[in-house]
């Protein structure tokens, strides 16, 4: 007797479903005919579709076999009954006696008490549960594996109906489906501000519209060819010289290769094709099934591997569909909020700046280059927004709150109104700050303070005039290197620096020499992986070991500043001897340019960043060696308190307004006063009114910050009696037994004197 072709049933079912999807039917009729077709094909007495609503309720949307009057009335909560259990677990249930299962819940309005065998599968899309598809029979039986596969495949068709919004027409008034529900994610605010707009996925998912195949063999050939190309591309990436032989980057690619060669993955996709799906629909089905399982894992390592698998499946989909990525001509919204797992600074600059309203990252840290660039562009940034990419679709309305670290996807109308009012309030405040732009920065009791801005790209420079900054206290030269695909030549660097000085229009610019290494990775300049890169081969250490690199930059700075003042400083100095070594290289460059008749700067000011605690025991030597000092409070706090700023678990553990750190900063100011050496602070502390108030209280009279922070800080400064604050703050810092913290004192002082912080 010939063996029965078990795949014939699913293929016939999918063929009928393809015909049904093509017919011009109303949603309810289409759904009713789908459940009748499934019941007929699977010789089931019942077939039902439950759809998940935004309130967490699974509503019966169509049935064949149960009481028709129960449609749109029968409901189960997420996790309640067999249907709710399937939705919550995203796993199928195959039971010969459903009523014996501990999760069974009887719905009297459906009349399902006479049915025993039960097969239910989740309706999944991108790993998210959108509903549940069920078949039932009176007789006790276990459904075959091919029947389970057929049901899962059929569920994809229904998922597409839900995702395209076809079922909105038959949704009860006042209710929404889960796919459209509002979602709020608590994350970290990396750049202040509020953005209202629409989601643009940085790596948009490939939307599979052609689900059902005509020729399974042809689709398997397409799949095999695409997998072959994918494997070759991964092998090619691994063989390139710039990919280190060990380290995190290589580990990710090795994981990709492992997944790409996994026979179980390939076999599941081939089975889905034999059951009637196209190659790309098969990839999407297996991806969604795997993602649904992995999303429920608690092991952080395995959850991280989910991202790798997801990315690999998307690469395979792009191979199959020929999708090459977004074109800016594809209808880029004028209020775009970019959602990304991670991205580089250059990628952000590829987007039209005028259209950007915000950036949301699943990964990243407050110090990453893309965050620095986004801040320079004046857009709010949210980081560590875990899982946000999977919860959003292109075009979804979204709000990001960089002040509170929240992302709102598909927000409720009341929330939108509240944020629109908040934006209007911020705009009024910004108008008030703009009115202070030309007001001299002087405290209420007459102390003059210099307020400068931080920059690093040409896009920053228009804000020099707009913000009212007196100059640029920190120009990060490494950003030019980070966004370039190749090492900038000396002529390119010179032209860039000359342009910066021209746009500064006579206002002082302090250039920081190249600060790469650590978390600032340049794609074309790879070093060996380090266990602790923040304390490793970076900044001045790297520059002194690569004198050609440093001399090229020094030459470019000298030539660009011809006839003007050149003010430059060195990052991450640990010993004064490093400053002397760079001075020697600078002198050689001056002699070289003089020899060949090049004009030189009319004045050279040579400074150093104070970021490494070792310099605290060399303060007088340091002040004697340089023309000025700039305190990098971000790294100095990190190194002093042994706190990784990019680690959410410890980054907020210690207070930069605590006694230890304020005492360190006060010692630096006192050493500068003692040696008559100008000192500026250019870290994040300077850009927040409360912490800036503390800096003025301990003696700083020059600070540098992001352009958007200047208005609020100046407003605080104009109302501050700094002598009175200084007396109270020094009292608290010197009193070892006092339980009052500096932060408490500052908050109370601001409130008592009506100072806006």
In a domain, residue 757? The reply is: no
DSSP class of residue 484? -
Q: What is the mean pLDDT of residues 258-271?
A: 82
- Does residue 643 share a domain with residue 514? yes
Max mean pLDDT range (121-130, 332-341, 657-666): 657-666
Q: What mean pLDDT is predicted for residues 719-742?
A: 93
Q: What is the mean pLDDT of residues 558-587?
A: 95
pLDDT band per the 50, 70, 90 thresholds, residue 518:
low
What are the beta bridge partners of residue 60? 50
* Average pLDDT of span 12-17: 78
The CATH number of the domain holding residue 355 is 3.50.30.10
Among 101-110, 218-227, 563-572, the minimum mean pLDDT is found in 101-110
Q: Which helix (H) or strand (E) holds 125?
A: strand 117-125
Of 289, 321, 353, which residue sits at a domain end? 321
Identify the pLDDT of residue 648: 59
Same domain, 131 and 233: no
pLDDT for 359-406, tens place per residue? 999 876 665 667 877 877 788 999 888 878 877 888 889 999 988 889
Within this chain, do residues 247 and 111 fall inside the same structural domain, yes or no? no
**Banded pLDDT at 530 (limits 50, 70, 90):** low
Q: Are residues 657 and 517 in the same domain?
A: yes
Using 50, 70 and 90 to split pLDDT, how confident is the model at 555? Answer: very high
User: What pLDDT score does 242 carry?
Assistant: 42
Q: Are strands 472-476 and 509-512 parallel, antiparallel or unpaired?
A: parallel
What are the C-alpha distances in Å from 130 to residues 20, 78, 88, 110? 21, 11, 10, 21
Question: What local confidence, expressed as pLDDT, does residue 19 receive?
Answer: 82
The verdict on 374 and 344 lying in the same domain is: yes
Residue 726, pLDDT score: 97
User: Are 399 and 478 found together in one domain?
Assistant: no
Work out the angle at residue 118's Cα, subtended by the Cα atoms of residues 114 and 121, and round it to the nearest 5 degrees.
145
Q: CATH number, domain at 529?
A: 3.20.20.60
* Measured distance CA(279)–CA(222) in Å, rounded: 7
Mean pLDDT of the region 218-244: 75
| Reported confidence tier of residue 713, pLDDT bands at 50, 70, 90 | very high
| pLDDT tens digits, 303-343 | 555 666 677 777 788 888 776 555 444 568 889 999 988 77
Comparing 677 with 148, which gets the higher pLDDT? 677
pLDDT at 7: 47
Whole-model pTM above 0.75?
Answer: no
Which segment of 179-193, 323-337, 417-431 scores lowest on mean pLDDT?
A: 323-337
One domain, residues 579 and 662: yes
Answer yes or no: is pLDDT of 15 > 80: no
Tell me the range of 127-136, 476-485, 645-654 where mean pLDDT is highest: 127-136
Among 426, 446, 477, which residue terminates a domain?
426
Query: Do 485 and 737 form a contact (C-beta atoms < 8 A)?
Result: no
In a domain, 743, yes or no: yes
494, exposed or middle or buried, with CB in 10 Å at 0-12, 13-18, 19+? buried
Residue 129 located in a structural domain: yes
Give a yes or no: residue 431 inside a domain.
no
Residue 695 covered by a domain: yes
Q: What is the CATH number of the domain that holds 27?
A: 3.30.450.40
Other Cβ atoms less than 10 A from the Cβ of 318: the count is: 17
Residue 678 lies in a domain: yes
CA–CA gap between residue 575 and residue 616 (Å, rounded) = 10
Contacts (Cβ under 8 Å, ≥6 apart) of 64? 32, 35, 36, 38, 39, 46, 47, 48
Say which range, 210-224, 433-447, 579-593, 684-698, has the weakest mean pLDDT: 210-224
Q: What is the mean pLDDT of the chain?
A: 84
Q: Is residue 3 part of a domain?
A: no
Pairing of strands 450-455, 188-191: unpaired
Would you state the structure tokens that stand for residue 614, as one six-digit string?
């070792």
Same domain, residue pair 75 and 220: no
Instruction: Please tell me the predicted confidence (pLDDT) of residue 119.
Output: 94
pLDDT at residue 709 tops 80 = yes
- Average pLDDT (291-302) is 60
pLDDT band at 240 (very low <50, low <70, confident <90, very high): low
Do residues 657 and 679 both lie within one domain? yes
Q: So what's the pLDDT on residue 247?
A: 42
Q: Which domain range does residue 72 map to?
A: 8-174
297 in helix, strand or coil? coil
**Number of separate domains in the chain:** 4
Residue 264 pLDDT level (bands cut at 50, 70, 90): confident
pLDDT at 664: 97
From 426, 460, 491, the end of a domain falls on 426
> Is the pLDDT assigned to residue 229 strictly greater than 80?
yes
Which of the given ranges, 11-15, 139-143, 747-751, has the highest pLDDT on average?
Answer: 747-751
**DSSP character for 353?**
G
Q: What is the mean pLDDT of the segment spanning 70-84? A: 90
pLDDT at 618 over 90: yes
Q: What per-residue confidence (pLDDT) applies to 306?
A: 61
Task: Please indicate, yes or no, whether residues 317 and 419 belong to a single structural domain of this protein.
Answer: no
625 and 683 share one domain = yes
Query: How far from 160 is each of 167, 170, 449, 601, CA to CA, in Å?
Result: 10, 16, 61, 66
Sheet strand arrangement including 93-95 = 75-77, 57-64, 46-52, 128-137, 117-125, 93-95
Give the least confident one: 241-250, 519-528, 574-583: 241-250
The DSSP-derived string for 618-676 is SHHHHHHH-SEEEE-HHHHHHHHHT--TT-TTTTTTS-TTSHHHHHHHHHHHHHHHHHT
What pLDDT sits at residue 301?
52
pLDDT at position 297, please? 57
- What digits encode the pLDDT tens for the residues 673-684? 999 999 999 988
Tell me, what CATH number does 275's domain have? 1.10.274.10
For residue 739, is it within any domain? yes
Residues 125 and 35 in one domain: yes
Q: Which range, of 102-111, 233-242, 244-253, 645-654, averages the lowest pLDDT?
A: 244-253
């Amino acid at each position: 007797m010939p063996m029965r072709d078990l795949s014939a049933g699913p293929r016939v079912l999918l063929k009928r479903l393809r015909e049904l999807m093509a017919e011009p039917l109303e949603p309810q009729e289409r759904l009713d005919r789908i459940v009748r077709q499934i019941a007929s094909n699977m010789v089931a007495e019942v077939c039902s579709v439950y759809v998940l609503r935004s309130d967490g309720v699974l509503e019966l949307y169509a049935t064949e076999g149960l009481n028709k009057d129960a449609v749109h009335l029968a409901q189960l909560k997420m996790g309640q009954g067999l249907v709710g259990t399937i939705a919550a677990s995203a796993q199928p249930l195959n039971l010969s006696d459903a009523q014996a299962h501990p999760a069974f819940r009887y719905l009297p309005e459906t009349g399902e008490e006479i049915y025993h065998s039960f097969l239910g599968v989740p309706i999944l899309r991108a790993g998210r549960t959108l509903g549940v598809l069920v078949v039932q029979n009176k007789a006790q039986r276990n459904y075959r594996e091919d029947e389970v596969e057929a049901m899962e495949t059929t569920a994809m068709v229904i998922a597409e109906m839900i995702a395209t919004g076809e079922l909105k027409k038959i949704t009860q008034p006042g209710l929404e489906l889960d796919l459209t529900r509002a979602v709020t994610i608590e994350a970290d605010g990396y750049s202040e501000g509020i953005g209202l707009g629409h989601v643009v996925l940085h790596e948009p998912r490939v939307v599979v519209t052609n689900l059902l195949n005509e020729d399974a063999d042809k689709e398997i050939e397409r799949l095999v060819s695409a997998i072959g190309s994918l494997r070759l591309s991964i092998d090619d990436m691994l063989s390139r010289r710039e990919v280190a032989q060990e380290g995190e980057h290589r580990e990710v690619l090795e994981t990709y290769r492992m997944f790409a060669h996994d026979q179980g993955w390939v076999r599941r996709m081939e089975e889905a094709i034999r059951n009637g799906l196209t190659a790309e629909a098969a990839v999407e089905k297996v991806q969604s099934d795997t993602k649904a399982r992995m999303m429920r894992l608690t092991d952080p390592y395995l959850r991280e591997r989910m991202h790798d698998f997801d990315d690999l499946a998307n690469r395979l989909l792009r191979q199959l569909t020929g999708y090459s990525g977004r074109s800016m001509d594809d209808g880029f919204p004028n209020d775009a909020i970019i959602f990304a797992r991670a991205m580089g600074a250059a990628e952000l600059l590829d987007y039209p700046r005028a259209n950007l309203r915000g950036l949301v990252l699943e990964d990243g840290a407050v110090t990453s280059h893309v965050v620095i660039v986004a801040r320079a562009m004046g857009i709010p940034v949210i980081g560590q927004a875990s899982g946000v990419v999977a919860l959003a679709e292109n075009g979804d309305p979204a709000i990001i709150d960089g002040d509170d670290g929240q992302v709102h996807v598909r927000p409720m109308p009341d929330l939108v109104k509240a944020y629109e009012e908040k934006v209007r309030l911020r705009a009024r405040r910004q108008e008030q700050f703009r009115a202070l732009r030309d007001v001299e920065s002087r405290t209420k009791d007459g102390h003059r303070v210099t307020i400068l801005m931080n920059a690093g790209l040409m896009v920053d420079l228009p804000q020099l005039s707009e913000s009212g900054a007196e100059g640029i206290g920190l120009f990060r030269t490494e950003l030019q290197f980070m966004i370039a695909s190749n090492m900038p030549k000396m002529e390119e660097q010179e032209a860039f620096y000359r342009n910066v000085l021209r746009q500064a229009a006579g206002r002082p610019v302090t250039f920081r020499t190249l600060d790469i290494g650590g978390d600032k990775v340049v794609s074309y300049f790879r070093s060996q992986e380090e266990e602790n890169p923040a304390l490793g081969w970076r900044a001045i250490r790297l520059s002194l070991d690569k004198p050609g690199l440093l001399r090229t930059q020094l030459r470019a700075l000298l030539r660009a500043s011809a006839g003007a003042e050149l003010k430059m400083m060195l990052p991450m100095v640990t010993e004064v001897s490093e400053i002397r070594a760079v001075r020697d290289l600078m002198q050689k460059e001056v002699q070289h340019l003089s020899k060949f008749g090049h004009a030189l700067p009319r004045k050279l000011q040579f400074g150093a960043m104070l970021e490494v605690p070792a310099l605290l025991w060399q303060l007088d030597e340091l002040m004697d060696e340089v023309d000025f000092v700039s305190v990098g409070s971000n790294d100095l706090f990190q190194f002093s308190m042994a706190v990784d700023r990019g680690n959410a678990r410890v980054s907020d553990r210690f207070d930069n307004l605590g006694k230890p750190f304020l005492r360190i900063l006060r010692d630096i100011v006192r050493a500068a006063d003692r040696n008559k050496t100008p000192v500026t602070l250019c870290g994040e502390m300077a850009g927040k009114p409360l912490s800036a108030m503390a800096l003025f209280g301990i003696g700083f009279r020059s600070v540098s910050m992001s352009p958007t922070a200047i208005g609020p800080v100046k407003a605080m400064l104009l109302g501050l009696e700094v002598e009175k604050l200084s007396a109270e703050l020094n009292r608290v810092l010197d009193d070892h037994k006092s339980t009052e913290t500096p932060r408490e004192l500052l908050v109370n002082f601001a409130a008592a004197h009506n100072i806006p912080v």
